[in-house]
Structures are given as C-alpha cells and as structure tokens.
Structure 1
Amino acid sequence: MSSMNALLLYCRAGFEKECAGEIMAWATELGVHGYVRAAEQTGWVLFQAETQDEITLITSELPFTRLIFARQWVQVAALIQGMPEGDRLTAVKAAVSQLAPRYSEIRVETPDTDVAKTRLGFCGRFTRPLTAALEKTRQLVPGASAPRLHVCFVADDAAYVGISDPANSAPWFMGIPRVRVGRDAPSRSAGKLAEALMVFLDGSNAHELKAGMRAVDLGASPGGWAWVLAQKGIRVTAVDNGPMAAAAMATEMVEHMRGDGFTYRPHHPVNWLVCDMVESPSRIAQLVAEWIARGHARHAIFNLKLPMKKRLEEVRRCEEIIAKRLEREDMSYTLQIKQLYHDREEVTLCLMRDKA
C-alpha cells in the first residue's frame, strides 16, 4: 500500500501563505510535526508529515469547516511525475489501486489558477476512462460509505492521487460551490452572499433563513445582497446613502433607508444582519458584535476586507473582538469563517446565536 503521509490543500491563488500557516497551526495543536510546501500563485499547499497516521489524525480530529483558507483537503501519496502525454492512465491506475479497496466517487481536478484552468477539459476527458477502469475492477461503488477519490493534476505530467472523507471535506468539485444568481443581480457581490448561504446554512440550520423573516443590509448600495435575500422572501431594510439598483427595488421586498451603516439601528430586532462594507476589519467586527450583543439581530453574515500582510493574524484578531464582546453578555454563539470562491482580498463570516 502507498503511504498517504501528506495533506494536499486547495486554496485561492495568492493565499498559499495563509493556508499553509493555518494548517501548520492546527497540526501543532494536534501534536503533529511536519513541514509545508507552498509556492505563490499555485493555488495549492502540501503539508508533509512523517506518517500516514498523523495525517489521518488531522483529518479525523479537525473539522474541515474550521479551515478558513482551504477550499478542499485531500490525504495524498507521493507525487506521480513524468507521466507520458499519451498514457497518464496507467500510472494513475497503479497508484489508485493501492490507496483504498473501493471509492464512492471520483474527482479529477486541477488547481484554480488561470494556467491550470486550461487543464479542466483534459480532467473531464480523463475522468471517463478512469471511471470505466474502476467500475471494471468493482472499486467504484457510488453511494457506498467509502472515501472519495481525488486525482489532482498540478502539472500536465504530474498529479497527486489521494482520498477525502465525504463527511469531513468540501462536497463540491475542486472545493468550489457552483452558484447561479441570474442576470438580474444588481452587482457581482450578489454571488458572495448566495455562496455564503450555500456554505454556511446547510441541512442542519437551513431553517434559520426562511421567507417572512426580516433583515438589515448595512452599506447596501447598489443592492446585490439585499436582492439575494429578497429572492428568498426576506424583507430587507437596505441602509446606504448611495443609490439602490432598480432590480433590487423591483422585488418590492426592499426598503431603502438613506443613512450611515455604522450609526443605524433598527426600531425592532431583525432575524439577520448582512454587511459588505469596505472598512477596516476590526471596525466591522466591532459593529457586528455590537448588533448581536444588543439583540438588534439574531444572526449575521458579513465580510472582512483583509490587509495585504498578516491576513490570518487580522482574522484571528477580529475573532477575539467578537468573542470578548459576546462573552460580556454571556452569549453562546457559533462563528464560521471562510474565504469563499467569490471573495477576493476578504473572508466571509457567519455569526449565529445559539438557541437559549
């Protein structure tokens, strides 16, 4: 059997340092020693441990949702290199046969960079013969309680082959949710909130956002986030001195309140606060924590625009700001943080009060 003593993590190109720092910190906390390989603008990071058991410890003890900058993680064997252009299948099949007795599904992927995206067509074509080969040997059993097989081509002639646990990994191809917001969306930012709702509100807490609820969108102009909520039957108070797009107002679910997002407070508590204002991360964290602590909103989804340096440190500082404010109210809450596909130099947070 091939030893899978490394962890491959997909991330946004340009955030390899943050992804590497995060997995190193978690490994240290779990008592796992290792080192990281990370090259800028590649879209992937490799954490190398001494043993396969150490990688298994990380992927079993650490919930994948706790990772901020990783889109996906895969427990992998050694890199397969120098595959001939006319026959990559032979080398991949040989590696796959040694990893697990069976697989629940197959994903042939590549890092999310402009250069690597040119391989996506090949990945699709390669999936078909690999699927046929595993079906022939009865190693592919859809729906079975078996690991997911990943083949990640990091170069045209080089690939990592490994597995992920479907119960503790991203469910999407390349770790990227496929979000469609429609041509009527007032702005590109609508995709960020649509993706956030898909990522943060899964089956267990989807009931926390439903038609008939009320929300406030701070810094709403031109209305992309308000529009997404309105599509779900949420009545939104959109707070901004700037204009709102006609598409947002045409929903008849949005009330435009001209004002400052930092000073506005609702007359009555709302179910949700959303915020995508361009401001320092700590100021946004303080604002949202205050809304939740004072009961102006029960839950919040918001973005933090990160500095060019010490991005991970800034996120941790904002986490502490929120924790200290809510601890003063002895308030129990859940905070999820993720750099979404639609995010750029930012991360998205979902802060939800726990039920009393």
Structure 2
Amino acid sequence: MSELNTLLLHCRSGFEKECAAEITTRCAEIGVYGYPQFEPAQGYVIYHCHEPGTAEVAIRKLRFRDLVFARQWSACVARLERLPSADRITPIAEQVAKMPSCSEVMIEVADTTEGRELQGFARKFSSALAQALRQQSLLLPRKQRSQWRLHVMVIDGKTLWLGVAPVANSSPHPMGIQRLKFPAAAPSRSTLKLEEAWHYFIPKRRRDELLAGGMTAVDLGAAPGGWTWQLVNQHMFVIAVDNGPMNEDLMESGQVEHRREDAFTFAPPKPVDWMVCDVVDKPARVTELVVHWALNGWCRNAIFNLKLPMKQRFDEVEDCLGRLRGELASAGIAYRLEARHLYHDREEITCWLSLTPEN
C-alpha cells in the first residue's frame, strides 16, 4: 500500500481548519509529517504525507476515536480526475487492483449542499461499482470479512478520491453520520445530541449496564427538557436544574424533579449515576464544573457539551480536555474520557467522562 500517501477526513462544514490542525498535530506525534489542504466550508480535509506509505502508518497507528473533529477518514491514492462518463469503473478497477482486499464499498460525499445533491448518483454508482468489482474478483464476497473497507469519495461525476480504511478503526457510517429520527414527543431538537452521544460513546455491550432503568440523573441547564426527555425515556429519575420552565408533559411523567437553581452552584443531595450538561457558557467554565463534580464524586458518568469560541477552537478543546485529564490524574481518579464533534452538534463538541471505566 505504498501509494497511499494521502488522508481524507470528513468534518462538519466550517470546521475544516480545526480538523486540519488536529490531524497535523496527531500525525506529528507519531512521526508522520505532511500538510493539510482544504477550502472553507467544503466539509472535508486532505492531508498530504511527505513520505511514501505514511498515510498507511497514520491510519494504522492513530486511534480514530481519539480524533475530535474528523467524522470519517480513509487513506487514499491520488485523486482520480476526468473519468469518462461512459466507463468510470475501469480506471477505478485498475487502482483497486493495487489496494488491499476489501469486502465492502462505502460511497461518500461531502456533507454540504453540493455534496448532498450528488447522493442520488452516489447510491446508483455504489451498486454498479460493487457488482463490477466482484465480477472481476477485486472485491471479496459479501460474507467474507476483511480488515479493510473500500472508500469512494465523490467530488463530482468525473472526479473522486479512492481509498481504504480499517473497518475496526473508522466509522461504520458513510461520512461518519449517525442518522437518527427526531422523536415527536421530545420538547426540543437538542434531544438528538444526547441520543447520538449514547450511540457513539457507549459500547453496545455496556448499554444495559450504563443506561439501566431506575438509575438517577441530574440534567444541568435542562429547560425545556430535550436531554431530560432522553433520560426519562430510559426510565431514569431526573433532577432537572434550570431557572427556566420545563415541558409540562415531561413533568407529568412523575420521574422529574425541577429545581430552579443555578447549574454552577447546584449540588446533588446524593451521588447520581449520570450528570448531563448542555449549558451555554464558556467551555473553560463548563470544564471547571465537570472537574468539581468528578472530584466530589457526585456522578458515575457525565455527558457534557463544550460550546466553542469563534476562533482558536482546536486550541480551546486541547486546553479544556488537558485540564480535565490533569485534574483527574492529580487526584488519582481512574477515568475514561472521549470527545467528538457529533453530527447533531453545531458550535460545540460533546464529551463522555466515565468515572467507572472498565479494567
């Protein structure tokens, strides 16, 4: 795979700078050097590695889940351009023959208005390409598992990036987007942030353990109740902390106690299983709040959002997560911390802090 010298990373439109800064930093930490290339609001970043084969090194050595701003990634061959409309598959097949064996194809587009207009073409092309590659024995049978997945990033009808990603070290979703349906009974669309966070952060094998009925939770900055609704839907008992009004239907569930208090001064009467927080405030202040809860042992798990500033967003994330890790390490507290710019996030990232990590 020596020709795989380029990384392609999907991100939220408008966050290309942060995605580029992050991959540049993480690659340098493992001795992989190169330079990022992107246009504002294009929804993806290209990272060109200087040394042959080092895109493969990066995608093997870096842990995908440690990246905050990248939704999906792949290690690519050179960009394929001016593909003939009458036969796009042949030049693609010539490149696939040089790549590791894959058993599935993931066709992707940028998560932009222009990209979404290509989705119809991408779906049809995906089926035709997979069928042709299998006929040429360039794609393994569907039931045969492979370490690698083939990725095709469609730029337009004649231009694409062709690459691979480790199945176990990438997102299982095209463009890294977890598609969720808004529950009509929820008080606000912010409810999807917490639902997506649970899908992303909590391993399936631990969901019955960590999201069990009868658990207790505190929702800081709860009104009108989008996140509280998710907790109640998991049959938890919730203290909703907010000076604003809560959704009336949610309060009638009998599982919610509304405290009209300041989220930053509230202290739970006893430790809870979950603390969740979507307070609109400076990320450094929210980080201090989470540190306070962790050091006092007030919760077993926390999911919280850090609202990012307009500038220096990557640096702000590094500072906040570094501060949290440093405080917990100094206190000798075992923990697991993950962060991600989720699909349903906007100008924030979502974090999961587990104070009862698996051994």
TM range (shorter): over 0.9
Q: Distance in 2 between matches of 1:244 and 1:60?
A: 47
Superposition deviation, residue 317 in structure 1: 1.2
* Aligned-partner SS, 2:284: helix
Structure 1 residue aligned with 2:238: 236
Structure 1 residue aligned with 2:125: 126
Superposition deviation, residue 83 in structure 1: 1.8
- Is it true that 1:175 corresponds to 2:180 in the alignment? no
Superposition deviation, residue 52 in structure 1: 4.6
Superposition deviation, residue 326 in structure 1: 1.9
1:186/1:223 contact within 8 Å kept: yes
CA deviation string 1:35-75 (max 9, x = no partner): 11111111111111134531122111111000000001101
Aligned pair count?
Answer: 355
Structure 2 residue aligned with 1:11: 11
2:89/2:132 contact within 8 Å kept: no
Q: Distance in 1 between matches of 2:94 and 2:251?
A: 58
- Is it true that 1:43 corresponds to 2:47 in the alignment? no
Superposition deviation, residue 354 in structure 1: 3.5
CA deviation string 1:250-292 (max 9, x = no partner): 4332222211111111111001100001000000000011101
1:236/1:254 contact within 8 Å kept: yes
1:231/1:251 contact within 8 Å kept: no
Structure 2 residue aligned with 1:335: 337
Q: Distance in 1 between matches of 2:250 and 2:150?
A: 42
Q: Distance in 2 between matches of 1:171 and 1:234?
A: 29
Q: Distance in 1 between matches of 2:327 and 2:151?
A: 42
Q: Which amino acid aligns with 1:305?
A: K
1:51-62 → structure 2 map (5 Å cutoff): 51-62=51-62
Q: Which moved more, 1:19-28 or 1:90-99?
A: 90-99
Q: Which moved more, 1:44-53 or 1:216-225?
A: 44-53
2:24/2:36 contact within 8 Å kept: yes
Superposition deviation, residue 234 in structure 1: 1.6
The alignment yields a C-alpha RMSD, in angstroms, of: 1.6
Q: Distance in 2 between matches of 1:53 and 1:252?
A: 59
Q: Distance in 2 between matches of 1:172 and 1:47?
A: 21
Q: Which moved more, 1:250-259 or 1:293-302?
A: 250-259
Superposition deviation, residue 165 in structure 1: 0.5
Q: Which amino acid aligns with 1:120?
A: Q
CA deviation string 1:282-326 (max 9, x = no partner): 000000111011011111000011001000111111113212332
Structure 1 residue aligned with 2:222: 220
Q: Which moved more, 1:320-329 or 1:20-29?
A: 320-329
1:77-88 → structure 2 map (5 Å cutoff): 77-88=77-88
Q: Which amino acid aligns with 2:14?
A: G
TM-score computed with the length of structure 1 as normaliser: 0.95
Superposition deviation, residue 107 in structure 1: 0.9
Structure 2 residue aligned with 1:149: 150
* Aligned-partner SS, 2:42: coil
* Aligned-partner SS, 1:159: strand
2:182/2:189 contact within 8 Å kept: no
Q: Distance in 1 between matches of 2:235 and 2:295?
A: 26
1:227/1:251 contact within 8 Å kept: no
Q: Distance in 1 between matches of 2:119 and 2:20?
A: 25
Q: Distance in 2 between matches of 1:27 and 1:181?
A: 37
Superposition deviation, residue 2 in structure 1: 7.4
| Aligned partner of 1:305 among 303, 307, 325 | 307
2:284/2:320 contact within 8 Å kept: yes
Q: Distance in 1 between matches of 2:220 and 2:41?
A: 33
- After superposition, the Cα gap between the structure-2 partners of 1:328 and 1:98, relative to the gap in structure 1 and judged at 3 Å, is closer
TM-score computed with the length of structure 2 as normaliser: 0.94
CA deviation string 1:151-190 (max 9, x = no partner): 1012332100111111011111211111224111111100
Q: Distance in 1 between matches of 2:306 and 2:25?
A: 21
Q: Distance in 2 between matches of 1:38 and 1:27?
A: 17
Q: Distance in 1 between matches of 2:332 and 2:265?
A: 24
Which blocks of at least 5 consecutive residues in structure 2 are unaligned? Answer: none
Structure 1 residue aligned with 2:201: 200
Q: Distance in 2 between matches of 1:108 and 1:52?
A: 25
Superposition deviation, residue 146 in structure 1: 3.4
Structure 1 residue aligned with 2:106: 107
1:263-278 → structure 2 map (5 Å cutoff): 263-278=265-280
Structure 1 residue aligned with 2:94: 94
Structure 1 residue aligned with 2:27: 27
Structure 1 residue aligned with 2:188: 187
Q: Distance in 1 between matches of 2:37 and 2:117?
A: 23
- After superposition, the Cα gap between the structure-2 partners of 1:99 and 1:278, relative to the gap in structure 1 and judged at 3 Å, is same
2:338/2:351 contact within 8 Å kept: yes
Which blocks of at least 5 consecutive residues in structure 1 are unaligned? Answer: none
* Aligned-partner SS, 2:261: coil
